[in-house]
Each structure stands twice: as structure tokens, then as C-alpha cells.
Amino acid sequence: MVSARVRSISNVSSSSKGCVNPAFISGEIKAPELAPEICEPSSGDDVASRGQWGGKIDFMLTCIGFAVGLGNVWRFPYLCYKNGGGSFLIPYVIMLALVGMPMFFFELSFGQFSSLGPISVWAVTPILQGIGFCMVAISFIVALYYNVVITWAFAFLFRSFSTDVNYLPWMECGNWSTALCFSADDIKEINVNETFRNITMGERNLNPSLYDKLQTPSQQYFYRSVLNMSESMEETGAPVWHLVLTCALVWTVVFFALLKGVSSLGKVMYFVTTFPYIMMTAFVINGAMLEGAGDGIKYYLTPDWEKLQEPQVWADAATQLFFSLSACTGGLIAMGSFNDFKNNCYRDSLLVPIINCCTSVFAGFAVFAVLGHMAKMKGVDIADVAEQGPGLVFVVYPEAISTMTAPVVWAVLFFVMLILLGFSSSFSIMETVFVAIMDEFPHILRATPSRPIIFRGIGCLLMFLLSIPMLTNNGYYVFEVVEFYSGAFPLLIIALFELISISWIYGMNNFASDIEMMLGHKPNLFFRICWRFITPAILFAVLVSSIIGYEENDSYIRRVFKHHDEPEFWKDGDMPIWATAMGWLVMVFIVMWIPIVAMYKVITPAAVKAASSPSAHWHPALEENCLSDKRYTTNNSNVSIDNTRSLNPLGLTINTTPKYISNDTRVWMNTPPVFPSTPPAFPVQPVFVVNGMHNSAFTDSASFVMGPPSPNGVYGPPSPVIFAQPPTFVYAQSSAQPSPPAYTPSSPVHSNTTL
């Protein structure tokens, strides 16, 4: 039997991933206060089971696709026009430098260092692990409504196909329209010719005073035909089955794109990320040749310098960066976690935000060229046709396409571009959710090659079922509420806690040293100052500004579609109480995890310090990446490296993968046991690392450690043994075999091996 407390030098569980000096191994822990804490060795198989990028291009295209999405087309151009045109680029670029790039670098390096998902990565400060749950919650919500938007784009794509390349179904009013539906030419004439107005509207028994309420076919087509929208939020109605079936198709595509995790995702992104740029370029060129395009572009870029004095303009710039770069959703952490440890994430953190910013500006030319054309055709100001969100891409742009040559071709290309822009973000958002959960339960969800596939399939099915409420007759109202309340507030709160956690609790010096292990140098002073002071201050100011300027989403929801025939229905009203409550519940669902998890972690006062310090799971995933920093080979234990005595003074580096279980003791070994018939030159046997202390069951002070039994009773030579300050110790073979002569060193040797 074993007469010593054989134990590991790590208090990391056997399921964790980690690293250790290749000359050492681990066993069972019985006195953790006596030995250095060294993270457990990893063969690299654990990292491989998560998946890794097939190449650098896979990662870059996925990051660009993740950042560049629908918001670049339907949100940024409108904000630019609303907040001073060209002058808006000044606060946008400043916020990009002070908020966007620092947050992008922060999250990318955070995930890359640990090779962990957005929940597990918070082993760095366990008390704030709720941040990770918040990130997964917001990605979960965004994935639901983002794929609904892709569903609408698919619905338009299917309806765009026609044998007549000059005809689209929203070019003229149909059986889905109301008496207020008029062609763009008729509306233009009604606005300027009172006689024509009275005659034309009188023919439909409409009051001529309603001339400013008239709508084009494209306006009514989206809401009345595609969405089959109910008269109000209170009328839930039934599922719109053509949308339900289309949404099932969308989630099927997501499942197959993520079938093998990042290995399949990276390959899909070669097409999904690059093709929209080709289409966007074509639309810019075509839009520039439309009548009135110059007016639209001028309207887009003309600076209004007085706007820079308004705090809301700066708040909009900062908020847009969060939407655009997908920061604080866990996606960047998840994508970075599949990188090689030595990847230059600093360079990536500069390139991707700049590419994203340029894409947003470039998309603005395509959008406002069309808006200028539409204003020219209707004889109205550009401000009367400028919209953001779904109204822009599913109402204004389709109407403009209907005026182009071969509109069917342009419609197909436009909606394919929208679908790919949506998928480029949706794929990464869903992989973030899947990776976060699988990293928490790897022993279950990665136990076999088929389990990740089954898990992703079940996840996509559940997400599809949960999205059905947005596919009913009042689904668009639900969509607007969920999208509005899951926006700025939660992201800003997550970002603040994220920066506080690393900069002030874990420590900026520690985080800078972690980055140095990856890049070979610490982040420059600019980023460290931003992470610690500038970025949190800006985020806090934006959060306060957003709270002060907060308005319920009632008016926008009520203005979404005024398709009723009676004028009293056009008056803005209040949203139902249940709708407002639902919105706040969405927000609470996202941010509640921070206090809940923190309270769980500090149920006992003694747990506060432990929950605020990095756990044993916080370290690079592979052992070779740990060796450059002593923080990940020893952790302030009672026994220092200098006091460790070793019978392996050469510090041989041996394979670290196999495990051997003896009759009496489980030990982790760094090479398979060797049992030659004659003793070979010392040392070649496995290295056992144990804590040297006397067993209280014995009267003497000697510490014994049992070696593995040799086969067939053949005596194997003693293995090198590492003891932590033993008084004396004796090497003994397992009692299952004849005991060999005792091996007792006369003078233990100090090891110069770096743990």
C-alpha cells in the first residue's frame, strides 16, 4: 500500500485543460496547501476537440463577416444623414479609435489567450462570470430576430423570380392593397396638382385632405402581403405559414453551415463574406447613374458642423460601433478562442474595425444614391424618403429597384446580398452560443464526434420554434420590441463590467503580461489607458445620456404601418402594457446574470477573495504556451520553486500524454512506464511528482511513494521523484509485486528546471 500522500501539483480537475512543465506530472490532491499550483498538462487533443481555424484567411473572413452585417446597410447611412452628414464621420472615427478598436482588441486577445468560450473565459474573475452569461443571452436574442430578417429577405427573393424581367409584384397595387395605394407617379402629381388630387381621390371616395397619407405599392406590399400584418399589436392572429416554412429553411442553412463548427464555418465564409462586396459595388455604380443620385449623395455627405455640439450625436456614434463591430456579444471572444496562441490579434484588431468602418461609408453611397433618385421621382425632399431598419431595405430600396432596367435581375442580386450579409453575422452569432455551452459541458457535448452535431441540430430546432411568435400576424410588432429593448442598454452595461473586471479586478498588469505571452510585447500605453480609463468613461457617459434621452418605443411602433382607411387610426398611441413589459423582460433577461452569478459566487464571505481571483482554469490551453510566464507554472504556494528537490536534475522533457493507474495509486505520468529486465541508465522511467511529507500513520518521519508494479515480477529501476521539502523519503514498488531494495538518496539535488 501507499504510505505517502501522493498528490498533484495542481488543483485543476482532471477534465480541465492546461499546461505544466513537461518534466512534471500530477496525481491526487490531498494537501493542496503544500505544493505549487501548476495547471494540468494538455496533449492538445482538448484544443483540437473544440476546433481551430483552418487558416488565417478563415479567421479574418469570419471576423469581417461577423462585424459587417445588415446594420452597415440599414443603420449607419441613416445615422450619418440624421447626425450631420459628413460631419458625423468625425465623432464616428474618434469613437472608433477610443472605443471600437480597444474593445475589439480587448475581446479578441481575451479569447485567444485562454482558448475558452464567452462563459468559461470568466475563470479570470469568477465573481463576474455572469458577464459571460449576459453575452450568451444577448447573442441568443439577436440570433432569433436576425434570422427572422433573413426570412423576410428570402420571401422577397422567391417572389422576385419572374419570366418577365421587367415585372415585380410590388410595382403596382394588388388585391393585398387598400384604397390609399397609388403609384409613385400618381402621388407625385397629387402632391403638386390640386385638381388632379380632388378628382383622383374622389374616385376612391377618399378625403383629399388625406393626400399626405398615400402610400406606394412597395410600402403596402411588405406589410400587407409579405408580413400579412395585423391591424394592431393586440391582434396576435395566426402564424404566417409561408414565413414559417421559409424560416425553417433559414435555420436548416445555419445548421449545415455550422455542422463541423469553425472548420466548416471558415470555409463557408469565403463566399458569404466576399460576394456582398461585389454586389455592393455593382449597386453603387448603378445607383450613381440614376436620376437624382447626385442630390442624394450630396445630402449624405454635406457636413452640418453645428450637429457636433449635440451630445446625442456622439452617443449615436459610440452606440453604432457596438452594433457594427458586434462587441460585447461574446462573438469576438469565441472567434478569438479558435486562434493559434501566437496569432497577431493586435493587427487583426486594427484591420477588421477599419474594414468595417469603410464598408459602412461605402454602403451609404449605394443607399443615398437610391434615396436621391426616389425623392426626385416623387417630387419630395430626401428627408421624406429616408428611413432606417427594415423600412429601408424592404420598402424604399425595392421601390427604387422597380424603376431600374431589368428590375428582376437587380432585385434578385439585392436580396441575395441581404441574405448573405445576414448569414455572415448569423453563423458567428449561433456558433458563439453553441461554443459557450459546449465549453461548459465538454465531457457531455464533446464526448463523441457526433454529439456536437446532435447538439447543434437540437439547438437550431429550438431556436426555430422560439422565433415563431415573430412570424405571426403581429410578429413585426414583437420583432420591433425585442430588437429595441435588446439594443444599446445591455451592451453598454456588459462593456462596463467587462472592462472593470479585467482592468481593476484581475489587474491591467496581469492582462498586459498575458498579451505579452502571445505577441512577445505588451499592448502599448494607448490601449492600456483606454481599457482602464478612457473607454469606461465614454461608455458610462453614453449610458447616462441614453437613460436621460430614453423614450418608449411606442411612437415608432405605431408609425410602423398606418394602413388603415380612417384618419383617427393614424394618431400615435401607447403600446399595450404587456408589450412594454415584454420589452423590459427582454432587457432584464440579458443583464440579470451579473448580479445573480455574483451572489452565487459569494454566498460565504470567505469566497469573496477566491471568486475575485483567477481560478486554476485561467491559463493558456497548451502547455508550451505556459512556460514563458512563471504565473502559469507556480501560483504563490507555500513551497517555492527554489525549495523543490528533485532526483531529475537534468530536467528531461518527455511526452506528456499517457496515464497509468497502479494497483493502489492513481498517478498522472509523462511517459508510459518502462520495465526493462535490467536497470537502464538513470533517469528514463516516468517522473512522479508528489508532496513530501510524513504519513501520520507511521512512527518515523520518512515519506514513501509507491511506484508502478512491474509486469511478471521483473524489477524496474526507481523512477525520478520530485518531492517538496521532504525530511527523508524512500522509493518503494507496489505491494502487488516483490518489494525491491529501498532507494534512498544521500543528498537530494536542487532542481534548476523551470516549472
pLDDT tens digits along 696-749:
333 333 333 344 444 444 333 344 433 333 333 333 333 343 433 333 333 333
| Nearest by Cα to 476 from 247, 240, 227, 251 | 227
Picking from 22-31, 269-278, 331-340, 428-437, which range would have the lowest pLDDT averaged per residue? 22-31
Q: Which residue has the higher pLDDT, 43 or 444?
A: 444
- How far from chain centre, in Å, is Cα 409? 35
| Mean pLDDT to the nearest integer, 214-232 | 87
How many CB atoms within 10 Å of residue 657?
13
* pLDDT value at residue 205: 85
Selection from 6-15, 173-182, 601-610 with the highest mean pLDDT = 173-182
The mean pLDDT of 201-218, rounded to a whole number, is 84
Q: 7-33 burial string, b = 16+ CB within 10 Å, else e?
A: bbbbbbeeebbbbbbbbbbbbebeeee
Section 277-301 average pLDDT:
89
Nearest to 558 by CA among 542, 570, 567, 548: 570
CB 534 within 8 A of CB 109: no
Convert 680-702 to b/e letters by CB count within 10 Å (16 or more is b): eeebebbbbbbbbbbeeeeeeeb
Residue 690 is predicted with a pLDDT of: 37
Segment among 459-463, 479-483, 621-625 with least mean pLDDT? 621-625
Return the higher-pLDDT residue of 243 and 374. 243
Contact between residue 65 and residue 425 where contact means Cβ atoms under 8 Å apart:
yes
Residue range 51-174+216-598 forms a domain whose CATH class is mainly alpha
Cα–Cα distance measured from residue 703 to residue 326, given in angstroms and rounded to the nearest whole number: 57
What pLDDT, on a 0 to 100 scale, did the predictor assign at position 455? 96
Judge whether 334 and 107 are in contact, CB under 8 Å.
no
Q: Is the pLDDT of residue 143 over 80?
A: yes
**pLDDT for 404:** 86
For the ranges 21-30, 161-170, 368-377, 454-463, which has the lowest average pLDDT? Answer: 21-30
Residue 694's pLDDT is 31
Mean pLDDT value of segment 77-90: 83
Give the number of other Cβ atoms within 10 Å of residue 653's Cβ: 11
Q: Is the pLDDT of residue 450 over 90?
A: yes
The 10s digit of each residue's pLDDT in 87-103 is 888 999 999 999 999 99
pLDDT confidence of residue 610:
64
Q: What's the confidence (pLDDT) of residue 737?
A: 38
76, pLDDT greater than 60: yes
DSSP characters over 146-160: HHHHHHHHHHHHHHH
Q: Are 166 and 406 in contact (CB under 8 A)?
A: yes
H-helix or E-strand spanning residue 467: helix 450-467
Flag whether pLDDT at 559 surpasses 80. no
Instruction: Select the more confidently predicted residue: 587 or 213.
Output: 587
Q: How far apart are CA 156 and CA 150, in angstroms?
A: 10
pLDDT reported for residue 23: 30
pLDDT for 273:
92
Tell which phi-psi region holds residue 750, choosing left (phi > 0), alpha (psi between -120 and 50) or beta. Answer: beta
Q: Alpha-carbon torsion 180, 185, 191, 194, what sign?
A: negative
146-160, 300-314, 533-547, 593-607: which range is least confident on average? 593-607
Q: How far, in Å, are 50, 282, 420, 424 from residue 271 at the CA level?
A: 24, 17, 9, 9
Q: Are strands 666-668 and 702-707 parallel, antiparallel or unpaired?
A: unpaired
More confident site: 16 or 312:
312
CA dihedral sign of residues 443, 22, 29, 4: positive
Most confident by average pLDDT, 128-137, 220-229, 255-264 = 128-137
- Amino acid present at 38: I
Q: Quick count: other Cβ atoms within 10 Å of Cβ 521?
A: 10
Give the residue carrying C-alpha cell 537534468. 650
For residue 589, give Cα distances in angstroms to 379, 584, 653.
46, 8, 50
Does the pLDDT at position 533 exceed 60?
yes
Q: What was the pLDDT predicted at 668?
A: 33
Say which range, 48-52, 320-324, 363-367, 620-624, has the weakest mean pLDDT: 48-52
pLDDT (0 to 100) of residue 322: 80
Average pLDDT over residues 634-640: 34
* Residue 174 grid coordinates: 394588388
> How much of the chain exceeds pLDDT 90, in percent?
38
Query: What region does 520 belong to: left with phi over 0, alpha with psi -120 to 50, or beta?
Result: left
Query: Per-residue pLDDT averaged across 638-647, rounded?
Result: 30
Of the candidates 177, 236, 267, which has an alpha carbon nearest to the alpha carbon of residue 578?
236
Per-residue pLDDT for 650 more than 80?
Answer: no
Q: Is pLDDT above 60 for 511?
A: yes
Q: Which H or E run contains 420? A: helix 407-440
Q: Which pLDDT belongs to residue 608?
A: 64
Q: How many helices, marked H, and strands, marked E, lie in the chain?
A: 30, 8
pLDDT exceeds cutoff 50 at 120: yes
Between 45-54, 159-168, 434-443, the lowest mean confidence (pLDDT) is in 45-54
Q: How many CA atoms lie within 13 A of 281 on its CB side?
A: 5
Question: 168 CB contacts (<8 Å, ≥6 apart)?
Answer: 160, 162, 398, 401, 402, 407, 408, 411
Predicted pLDDT at 606: 58
Which three three-digit cell numbers place residue 187?
Answer: 402621388
Q: How far apart are the first and last CA of the chain?
A: 30
pLDDT of residue 633: 61
- The C-alpha R_g of the chain, in whole angstroms, comes to 32
Q: Give the start-to-end residue ranges of the domains of the chain.
A: 1-44+622-755, 51-174+216-598
Residues in the chain: 755
Mean pLDDT value across residues 96-125: 93
Q: What is the pLDDT of residues 653-665, one digit of tens each?
A: 333 333 333 333 3
pLDDT at position 607 over 90: no
pLDDT of residue 596: 93
d(CA 281, CA 272): 15
Which residue's entry shows cell 415563431? 468
Dihedral, CA of residue 458, residue 460, residue 465 and residue 471, to nearest 10: -170
Q: What is the pLDDT of residue 489?
A: 84
Note the pTM of the prediction, 2 decimals.
0.76
- Residue 383 reports pLDDT greater than 90: no
pLDDT recorded at residue 611: 64
Q: Determine the pLDDT at residue 551.
A: 62
Which of the two residues, 615 and 425, has the higher pLDDT score?
A: 425
113: left (phi over 0), alpha (psi -120 to 50) or beta: alpha
Q: What is the mean pLDDT of the chain?
A: 75
For 740, counting Cβ atoms within 10 Å of its Cβ (0-12 exposed, 13-18 middle, 19+ buried), the class is middle
Contact yes or no for 387/309 (Cβ under 8 A): no
Mean pLDDT of all residues in 427-431: 94
What CA–CA distance (Å, rounded) separates 297 from 276? 21
Query: What CA–CA distances, in Å, run from 658 to 71, 591, 655, 669?
Result: 50, 43, 8, 6
